[in-house]
A and B are shown apart, each in its own frame.
Chain A
Amino acid sequence: MTGPPARPPVRVSTSSDRLQRLLALVPYVVSRKVVGLTETAAAFGVSERELVDDLNMLWCVELRAPDPYCPIDLSYEGGEIEISQAESIDRPLRLGVDEASALLVALKMLADVGQVAPVPGLAENSALSRTIAKLEAAAGEAAAPAAQVAVQVDRNAEQSVAAQLREALASGRRVHLSYYVPTRDEATERDVDPMRLLVVEGRTYLEGWCRSAEAVRLFRLDRVLGMEVLDVAAEVPQEAEPHDVDRGLFQPSPEDLRVVIELSPYGRWVAEYYPCEEAADIGEGWLRVVLRTPDSEWVRRLALRLGEDGRIVEPADLAADVRREAAAALARYGSGTGGPPVSPGEVS
């Protein structure tokens, strides 16, 4: 069961998948009386041709005893589906445990998100709690196991920052951010045109058009040192392409630096925190990982942090760089470890 930590769901079309679709299709049309082929195909995520195949199969259902009859009568002339006779399958099947849980856990997560990053609808929470109550009622017994799964979102993000961003998003205004960039160990100042808030892997981000970088950037809310909503309308340019959240927020690019690091059992957390291209056990609990990053400074800091628990294998010049930096830092402490510190100013 080892595999990449996240993978997109693979749609396998089996006969039971199709049966579920057929059983949902009839009530879908019945509850809407008349509905377009195109719209229905889109709602079910199938092509119009597949949908027509489904409709034909439904129309062909035949029971032979006690007297032969066709329980379902429908038409889709002129691209409009109408079901005049649906017999017993005019209502959808009730929700299964997994189905009820998936939605209930997600809704409760949204409630938690609402408390961290107030957004309209989530903040007032009323729509959310109404939805949860209605869904629990409809799911009945299938709703119970959802209580055994909980999602708790990181609350480190400043409430006031989230509230101000929400205000900026709602009124379509530009913001000024003081933002800490850990890889460069810098506080940066920039104007950003907000696009949306993201909550991914428990962290809240602002996605926006950064006017200094002239590109779409993500800002972690817990790294916002200060912000101001400006009296200027946000202008997100046409070419601003939002991140495809479902492909992961941080997509390595081919120009990125390829870094090979060996991690001790104590240093294995690195593989849990950062997406690795490869990870292989190399014995005695050590792990060899391959990372991609645009930022060699980040790697240098990581290696210093890891100390004996991490060894940079590639690139070699970066490994040498880390050793040089460690030697310079140690020199500031003098040769012994117990003596009084040398004034840092004495070493350059």
Chain B
Amino acid sequence: MSKRKTERLLSLVVCLLSSQRYLTANQIRAAVPGYPESFDAFKRMFERDKEELRELGIPLDMGSNGPLDEELGYRIPRQEYMLPDIRLEPDEAAMLALAARVWRRAELAGAAAGALLKLRAAGVEAEETGQPGIEPRLTGEAAFGPLWEAVRDRRPVTFTYRAAGRSELQQRQLEPWGVVNRHGRWYVAGHDQVRDAVRVFRLSRIEGRVEFSGPRGSVKVPDDSDVRELVAEWDTQPVERHSAALKIRAGTGFGLRRWATSEQAGSDGWDVVDVPYSDLAWFAEHVASFGADVVVSEPADLRDAVITRLKGALA
């Protein structure tokens, strides 16, 4: 079944590409082997075939050969079908081969492989040349596929979101502007339809399915929007600098000493170390992870936060 269909589609492509003129459905039926005898059955099969070719990105043109032609016909315009000439130097081809591997474990892996195949077919020698010295990779995320499609096709989406630190799930309606991977994590930025504001969401916190909630082309991305910038702003909170006075048992707490602004060895086996920090909650957790090797002297709010953490671990 599948072999016959492939044969038929292949002949159809060759037939429509070879012809300068628009071919009517009847002319196509006469030329391409494999279509059924009954005209109705042919029509149905031909419709499906056209759809399949369009899905592969094959441009299918409909029109007539002159004002006297009543019946519309089809052809594949060669100029639109074919990949324009592309010549790559060896160092450029090597970059391409490296780029195609970036997605190897993620959603666009198939697309990258397909692109490489077409470029190789165009004569590009994108062979993997030994050890490139560096291997970059992007990893996937369940919500990436549908969100990329939504961004590509300019469609709004809805999804269920679990914001950090909050247990209740939220239903979000978003006009997605772009998808960004920042420091290894995927985000989507866009216009939140309910809150009527620009919002950024982390893909790993989306639960369940991402659904399309509007037609293709219905999302307008503002010309001056920079999704990379939006995510960077969202990710980097304003940095406030504080300093903590810590007592660290000699020979321990190296993960804190790394950042110390001053360090004084004490006579009692405990060193007095000043460490800068910006986020109180995060730093308190970090200090707590050193257990009984580190004690906060100052400030009081940090001290209290560490004590709360430790009491929590005791419970």
- Of the listed stretches B39-47, B62-70, B145-153, B191-199, chain A binds B145-153
- Of the listed stretches A76-84, A117-125, A227-235, A252-260, chain B binds A117-125
A residues in contact with B118, CB < 8 Å: 24, 92-95, 99
A: contact size bracket: 35 or more
Q: How far is the CA of A65 from the CA of B184 in the complex (A)?
A: 56
Indicate if the CB atoms of B84 and A137 lie closer than 8 Å: yes
Q: A63-B32, A145-B152 are in contact. Are A89 and B13 (CB under 8 A)?
A: yes
B312 at the interface (CB under 8 A from A): yes
Indicate if the CB atoms of A328 and B84 lie closer than 8 Å: no
Nearest Cβ on chain B to A317's Cβ, whole angstroms: 15
Q: A95-B118, A150-B178, A302-B289 are in contact. Are A119 and B10 (CB under 8 A)?
A: no
Indicate if the CB atoms of B122 and A148 lie closer than 8 Å: no
Q: Smallest CB-CB separation from A154: which chain B residue?
A: B183
Indicate if the CB atoms of B310 and A326 lie closer than 8 Å: yes
A213 at the interface (CB under 8 A from B): no
Nearest Cβ on chain B to A83's Cβ, whole angstroms: 12
A residues in contact with B99, CB < 8 Å: 103, 106-107, 109-110, 131
Name B18's contact: one of A45, A88, A248, A266 (CB within 8 Å): A88
Q: A94-B80, A152-B232 are in contact. Are A121 and B95 (CB under 8 A)?
A: yes
Indicate if the CB atoms of B6 and A15 lie closer than 8 Å: yes
* Binary interface encoding of chain B residues 146-168 relative to chain A, with 1 for a CB under 8 A from any of its CBs, else 0: 10100110000000001011111
A residues in contact with B312, CB < 8 Å: 306-309
Q: DSSP class of A's interface residues: helix, strand, loop or mixed?
A: helix
A residues in contact with B162, CB < 8 Å: 265, 268, 285
A residues in contact with B81, CB < 8 Å: 91, 93-94
A61 at the interface (CB under 8 A from B): yes
* Binary interface encoding of chain A residues 293-311 relative to chain B, with 1 for a CB under 8 A from any of its CBs, else 0: 0000000111111111100
Q: A63-B11, A96-B111, A119-B134 are in contact. Are A285 and B151 (CB under 8 A)?
A: no
Q: How far is the CA of A112 from the CA of B108 in the complex (A)?
A: 19
Nearest Cβ on chain A to B245's Cβ, whole angstroms: 10
Q: How far is the CA of A130 from the CA of B86 in the complex (A)?
A: 12
B residues in contact with A201, CB < 8 Å: 137, 139, 184
Indicate if the CB atoms of A15 and B106 lie closer than 8 Å: no
B36 at the interface (CB under 8 A from A): no
Q: How far is the CA of A21 from the CA of B110 in the complex (A)?
A: 13
A residues in contact with B181, CB < 8 Å: 109, 149-152, 202
Q: How far is the CA of A169 from the CA of B134 in the complex (A)?
A: 10
Q: How far is the CA of A61 from the CA of B11 in the complex (A)?
A: 6
B residues in contact with A300, CB < 8 Å: 291
Nearest Cβ on chain A to B14's Cβ, whole angstroms: 5
Indicate if the CB atoms of A5 and B88 lie closer than 8 Å: no
Indicate if the CB atoms of A94 and B183 lie closer than 8 Å: no
Indicate if the CB atoms of A333 and B307 lie closer than 8 Å: yes
B25 at the interface (CB under 8 A from A): no
Q: How far is the CA of A107 from the CA of B307 in the complex (A)?
A: 48
Q: How many chain B residues touch A (Cβ–Cβ < 8 Å)? A: 140
Nearest Cβ on chain B to A261's Cβ, whole angstroms: 12
* Binary interface encoding of chain A residues 165-208 relative to chain B, with 1 for a CB under 8 A from any of its CBs, else 0: 01001000000000010100111000000011111111100000
For the A-B complex with A89-B14, A198-B137, A345-B268 known, give 11 more contacts whose Cβ atoms are closer than 8 Å: A1-B146, A16-B9, A24-B120, A101-B108, A103-B112, A128-B95, A154-B183, A198-B136, A305-B288, A332-B295, A345-B266
- Ordered by A's residue number, 28 sampled pairs between the chains whose C-beta atoms are within 8 Å are A16-B9, A23-B10, A26-B121, A62-B33, A63-B11, A64-B32, A92-B121, A93-B118, A95-B57, A106-B99, A121-B94, A121-B132, A127-B91, A128-B95, A134-B87, A138-B86, A152-B182, A185-B255, A186-B254, A200-B136, A285-B166, A300-B291, A306-B312, A307-B308, A308-B309, A329-B288, A337-B303, A344-B295
Those 7 A-B pairs whose CB atoms lie nearest each other, nearest first: A202-B184, A285-B167, A308-B312, A307-B312, A345-B268, A31-B123, A99-B115
Residues of A whose CB lies within 8 Å of any CB of B are 1-3, 5-9, 14-16, 18-28, 31-32, 43-45, 57-58, 60-66, 71-72, 87-89, 91-103, 105-107, 109-110, 113, 117, 119-122, 127-128, 130-131, 134-135, 137-138, 140, 145, 147-154, 166, 169, 180, 182, 185-187, 195-203, 225, 245-246, 248, 265-266, 268-269, 272, 284-285, 300-309, 322-323, 325-333, 337, 341, 343-345
Residues of B whose CB lies within 8 Å of any CB of A are 2-3, 5-7, 9-11, 13-15, 17-18, 27, 30-33, 52, 55-58, 78, 80-89, 91-92, 94-96, 98-100, 102-106, 108-123, 131-143, 145-146, 148, 151-152, 162, 164-168, 177-185, 204-205, 207-210, 221, 227-228, 231-232, 247, 249, 252-255, 258, 266, 268-270, 285-286, 288-293, 295-297, 303-304, 307-315
